[in-house]
Amino acid sequence: MPVSTYFQNVDFQPEQNLLNDLVEESIKIHGIDISYLPRTSVAVDNLYSEDVASKFSAAHIIEMYIDSTDGFSGEGDMVGQFGLEIRDQVILDVSQRRWKDEEIVGRLDRPYEGDLIYFPLNDKLFEVRFVEHEKVFYQLGNLPIYTLTCETFEYSHEDMDTGIAAIDDIETDYGYSMDLVFTSGEGTFTIGEDCSNGDASMKVLSWAPTTKTLRVGNIVGTITTAYDVVGASSAASWSMTAVPDDLVILTDPLANNLGIQTESDSIFDFTDRDPFSEGNI
């Protein structure tokens, strides 16, 4: 026989609204403000289905509840083949109704995997690995929260332009960059502006007018001395006589890219089309 018509357990809107109100109130009391960073894909490799280049150009403040009360979960800290790896995980709850009220562009329906959250308690970025929408399983016929499983973010030269200094400085401190030393020119570059050098594009990270040194990141294309480096907004234009070696990693003093390349050149002639098979292929 059907369920009793005198009890509305799954479709009574006033009780669902009350549950949402209680969830939001609890998160506002016991939660913290989280900066949510939607990922924007710039260049997607359709062959490998990977995001070759992406950027984070906005940060939305929304309250979330920390589900991980006993500390970070995940695999923790480990020393592996590529050095120290920190794989801490944190689980966060956010109200579904509050999420829709926030109206985050491109994320109106739910949080997406691959987006970032800035965790202010330890001043670190975490990447959203999984979004569970059925944790409170239809208690009153609705789903009040999203549960986000987030893992420590490993920066890989993404463009960070959120307007929050603590986040944007990650690109300056850890991104691949080059120091261009100029010989002549005019104008003053603006920090954060885009620059061009022929077909190459880049972003200004710092400008030292006394030494005529411009540090650039987000480099797309090949920098050459045949063209001046021109600022998109400042209109500054400077020329150089030499391009720095692209194997020198300024932000990583332990990087040995140049040393490996130099040693390998003494073993193999990489200008040969077939350096390994001695002409057998």
Q: What pLDDT, in 10s, does the model give residues 28-55?
A: 999 999 999 999 887 777 888 777 778 8
The total number of residues written for the chain in this structure: 281
pLDDT over threshold 70, residue 182: yes
pTM of this prediction? 0.76
Do 115 and 180 have their domain in common?
no
Q: Is 261 helix (H, G, I), strand (E, B) or coil?
A: helix
Structural domain of residue 259, as residue ranges?
174-265
The verdict on residue 79 lying in a domain is yes
CA distance 110 to 100: 8
Give 187-201 pLDDT, tens digit per residue: 999 988 999 998 998
Do 208 and 245 have their domain in common?
yes
pLDDT over threshold 80, residue 279: no
CA-closest candidate to residue 168, choices 96, 231, 217, 108: 217
What is the spatial order of strands in the sheet that 237-239 belongs to? 177-181, 213-220, 200-208, 194-197, 229-231, 237-239, 184-186
The verdict on residue 8 lying in a domain is no
Do 187 and 67 have their domain in common?
no
Contact between 144 and 15 (Cβ < 8 Å): no
